[in-house]
A and B are shown apart, each in its own frame.
Chain A
């Protein structure tokens, strides 16, 4: 069983002025293999910190997080990451970006080429292999980032607002792509987002986090992601249940934000 288990995760940042910021406080959760978790919350609630700790880019102040029983102690191939801006290597072509992980592992060229072909097709970039990445649009760049991450066959995929910078239309297409990949590969996915709608649409489970200190405020288990696999996303968005859940979470976040503003004003 390669579950992701987090136990009393604490993260305290110290600013140069000496103030301490409690970015995460006693975060405990368990994610089973093949689950899709979306994390939602107002800015500054520690979403990205949580993701960075999971990826191994940060060491938690206390507590531990394990994947399949192994404590996470640094970045690793078994945890792929998709960044907000893609973080593509702009000096490489699409194919070179996608096969980066395989090249690092020195997989033979034939297998690499075959896999790259496969993944470019899945993300809908067939024939773009030799294009320099800086010539791609934002959505296409994000597809490359997705393929680059998935070609390594990670156990866990971490997505840090991967669709945040895209226009509405592209965003919707990418959301179906994420769902499709989730279904076809059966990967565990953690996706961080600002958009309530996106969180509801994609998340089999949704964590709403609260700031100061960053903690998991509320947890939902939702049916929309499984529905979205064979139903039009726009229809789901008009679903009564969907709308009521969306309003509930939105007002929750609004309240949190107002509370912060109040605190700051006070």
Chain B
């Protein structure tokens, strides 16, 4: 319902915006001169067209439009796919979708194989002459066995009869298929089972099975039943063996030849054993390849072709929907299930995606028992205990209390301080954020903050001092060019898969960027400004704080902006490697279970968070350094 209205809305928006844009073009004065930069200004309506177009592509290629307007179309196409699947091996016998008869192709190929083996064996210096003769003899025999399969006069009556029967069954099906008599009324218990299955069957989409397989419409039922019948026919056909007595005699002879020779070989003769195995395989391939004389299957082939044509004609609206609303692929049947084969598979439907996203946002659902973004009540004592280091209590003079003889422990000042720094006291609770998104955010934030705290002073120092630059440059330049992820295995091993390891990795990323940008900022200060500050009586520290630092702020903030992007990218990859929370972790798990909706959700969340970071920093830049580029 929502999606179908949305589809119409998109179409209206696109048409409306295009018309509006067309009208505007005529009145826009700056459009008179091609190349005038003014021509690129404005155009919010084109944004509407662009985003609508994108959304429409998503809806269309994820087959969500098909789902919105024809929720049962996938189920119907599934039934057609069942027919296609049941006919697959039958059609494969004949030049319907192929170039040659299957028998022809096999005979051609195996004759070639035999010829190749013969020439290979006769030129092989590692075989004895006796062996060579034996093998070539066997191969010649196999070659001679083929005519027994392809000659009409050896064909047994029984075989012919079975083929005729099957042909009749297909013809019969072809005749009734278009009529209302097909499918015949279901038996009572059959109908009961079907209805029971249908009542339990879930809808199309990410609800369970991709496509509900049981036929939900009358037309679907027709194809479903036809597929059942065709599967039976096909199974029966492929049980037919064109093994007439003459052929059997010869193959048994070949088999015993192979066996006799094999018995004579000892286990060291690997070449001979392999060759014999190959020859045996070749013989078997011919034996079970459903090779028939060229004219035997003419009527059967015609029957298959006829039915194929009839079923295609009868598809009617299903074929149209398939062609129009299922771009880039279709629905295929495989055994008991149907699946999307095309962009519908890896491009999740917006409807499913938003539903799953809404589910994941529920704190009670989340992902892997952790909510995406929620809050938790936490005692202030825990936070205090986390922030204050425990050694504060240790350095207080005195000793921790010792239990008395009546089994009591009397707290003293030192132990009370220990209670405070370890968070062992009663306090009110405040909400703290938790969840995958928060964890990822916090990691980036902390990594960045530590990088800034250490990197900016160090960078400025390096920009101002020959010793500092020379001393720290090798260190920074040695680790900086290494891709951050290359450090990940090492850092994670040392600092653990949880927060510390990741924060340290991000710290490394942001540190080098901050050092370089702060250094560039500090060493880029105009000399005249420093001179001015000097002659205005500023001390070294004052010059550092009042001139060099503000002067390098633009560079530092640009550095932060770059660092945020780098950290964000590194974090997600690091979460891929190891961990139990975070957006990257969610995506990695979703990848393992092929939850395409969740994968796309994580992609969107990451994009949005990255954008949010960038916008925030841009706002901060505009606020704190309005003079940038104007000095």
Q: Are these two chains actual partners, yes or no?
A: yes
Q: Which of A57, A81, A105, A134 contacts B631 (CB 8 A)?
A: A134
Q: Which of B535, B553, B631 has the most CB of A within 10 A?
A: B535
Does A34 make an interface contact (CB < 8 A)? Answer: no
- The distance in angstroms between the C-alpha atoms of A132 and B631, with both chains bound, is 11
Which residues of B have CB within 8 Å of A132? Answer: 626-627
Which residues of B have CB within 8 Å of A100? Answer: 533, 536, 538, 546
Which residues of B have CB within 8 Å of A105? Answer: 537
- The distance in angstroms between the C-alpha atoms of A6 and B377, with both chains bound, is 76
Q: Which of B534, B547, B551 has the most CB of A within 10 A?
A: B534
Q: Which of B531-549 contact A (CB under 8 A)?
A: 531-539, 542, 546-547
**Contact: B553 with A77, CB < 8 Å?**
no
Does B579 make an interface contact (CB < 8 A)? Answer: no
- The distance in angstroms between the C-alpha atoms of A55 and B536, with both chains bound, is 11
**Contact: A83 with B532, CB < 8 Å?**
yes
- The distance in angstroms between the C-alpha atoms of A85 and B529, with both chains bound, is 10
Cβ of B524 to closest chain A Cβ, rounded Å = 14
**Contact: A87 with B627, CB < 8 Å?**
no
* Main DSSP-derived SS at the B contact region: helix
Closest chain B residue to A74, Cβ basis: B534
Q: Which of B294-351 contact A (CB under 8 A)?
A: none
Does A66 make an interface contact (CB < 8 A)? Answer: no
Cβ of A165 to closest chain B Cβ, rounded Å = 13
Q: Which of B528, B536, B553, B627 contacts A101 (CB 8 A)?
A: B536
Does B232 make an interface contact (CB < 8 A)? Answer: no
- The distance in angstroms between the C-alpha atoms of A79 and B535, with both chains bound, is 7
A57-B536 in contact given A89-B547, A90-B631 (Cβ < 8 Å):
no
**Contact: B536 with A152, CB < 8 Å?**
yes
Q: Which of A91, A104, A105, A133 has the most CB of B within 10 A?
A: A91
Does B625 make an interface contact (CB < 8 A)? Answer: yes
Does A148 make an interface contact (CB < 8 A)? Answer: yes
Can you list, as one digit per residue, whether each of B503-527 has a CB less than 8 Å from chain A (1) or not (0)? 0000000000000000000000010
Q: Which of A90-107 contact B (CB under 8 A)?
A: 90-92, 100-101, 103-105
Does A228 make an interface contact (CB < 8 A)? Answer: no
- The distance in angstroms between the C-alpha atoms of A100 and B630, with both chains bound, is 20
Does B610 make an interface contact (CB < 8 A)? Answer: no
Which residues of A have CB within 8 Å of B631? Answer: 90, 134
- The distance in angstroms between the C-alpha atoms of A86 and B177, with both chains bound, is 95
**Contact: B627 with A90, CB < 8 Å?**
yes
Cβ of B549 to closest chain A Cβ, rounded Å = 10
* Main DSSP-derived SS at the A contact region: loop
- The distance in angstroms between the C-alpha atoms of A74 and B537, with both chains bound, is 11
Q: Which of A77, A89, A133, A134 contacts B537 (CB 8 A)?
A: A77
A104-B542 in contact given A132-B627, A134-B627 (Cβ < 8 Å):
yes
Closest chain B residue to A81, Cβ basis: B535
**Contact: A90 with B535, CB < 8 Å?**
no
Q: Which of A56, A89, A103 has the most CB of B within 10 A?
A: A89
Closest chain A residue to B539, Cβ basis: A104
A134-B536 in contact given A55-B531, A91-B551 (Cβ < 8 Å):
no
- The distance in angstroms between the C-alpha atoms of A55 and B533, with both chains bound, is 12
Does B550 make an interface contact (CB < 8 A)? Answer: yes
Which residues of B have CB within 8 Å of A154? Answer: 535
Closest chain A residue to B534, Cβ basis: A75
Which residues of A have CB within 8 Å of B630? Answer: 90, 134
Does A139 make an interface contact (CB < 8 A)? Answer: no
Closest chain A residue to B531, Cβ basis: A57
Closest chain A residue to B529, Cβ basis: A87
Which residues of A have CB within 8 Å of B550? Answer: 89, 91-92
- The distance in angstroms between the C-alpha atoms of A85 and B626, with both chains bound, is 20
Q: Which of B533, B535, B538 contacts A80 (CB 8 A)?
A: B535
Which residues of A have CB within 8 Å of B536? Answer: 77, 80, 100-101, 104, 148-149, 152
- The distance in angstroms between the C-alpha atoms of A89 and B536, with both chains bound, is 12
Closest chain B residue to A84, Cβ basis: B528
Cβ of A221 to closest chain B Cβ, rounded Å = 28
- The distance in angstroms between the C-alpha atoms of A186 and B459, with both chains bound, is 45
Does A76 make an interface contact (CB < 8 A)? Answer: yes
Q: Which of B578-626 contact A (CB under 8 A)?
A: 625-626
Which residues of B have CB within 8 Å of A91? Answer: 550-551, 553, 625, 627
Cβ of B231 to closest chain A Cβ, rounded Å = 80
**Contact: B531 with A75, CB < 8 Å?**
yes
- The distance in angstroms between the C-alpha atoms of A76 and B538, with both chains bound, is 9
Which residues of B have CB within 8 Å of A85? Answer: 528
Which residues of A have CB within 8 Å of B542? Answer: 104
**Contact: A87 with B532, CB < 8 Å?**
yes
Cβ of A27 to closest chain B Cβ, rounded Å = 21
Q: Which of B535, B626, B627 contacts A75 (CB 8 A)?
A: B535
Cβ of B631 to closest chain A Cβ, rounded Å = 4
A152-B537 in contact given A83-B528, A90-B630 (Cβ < 8 Å):
yes
Closest chain B residue to A85, Cβ basis: B528
Which residues of B have CB within 8 Å of A149? Answer: 535-536
- The distance in angstroms between the C-alpha atoms of A91 and B547, with both chains bound, is 9
Cβ of B330 to closest chain A Cβ, rounded Å = 63
Cβ of A55 to closest chain B Cβ, rounded Å = 6
The 3 closest A-B pairs by CB, nearest first: A75-B534, A77-B537, A87-B528
Extra contacts, 4 of them, besides A76-B537, A80-B536, A87-B529 (Cβ < 8 A), are A100-B546, A104-B542, A133-B627, A149-B535
Chain B residues engaging chain A, CB cutoff 8 angstroms:
526, 528-529, 531-539, 542, 546-547, 550-551, 553, 625-627, 630-631
A-B contact pairs, 10 of them (CB 8 A): A57-B531, A76-B537, A83-B528, A87-B531, A89-B551, A100-B538, A104-B542, A134-B627, A145-B532, A152-B536
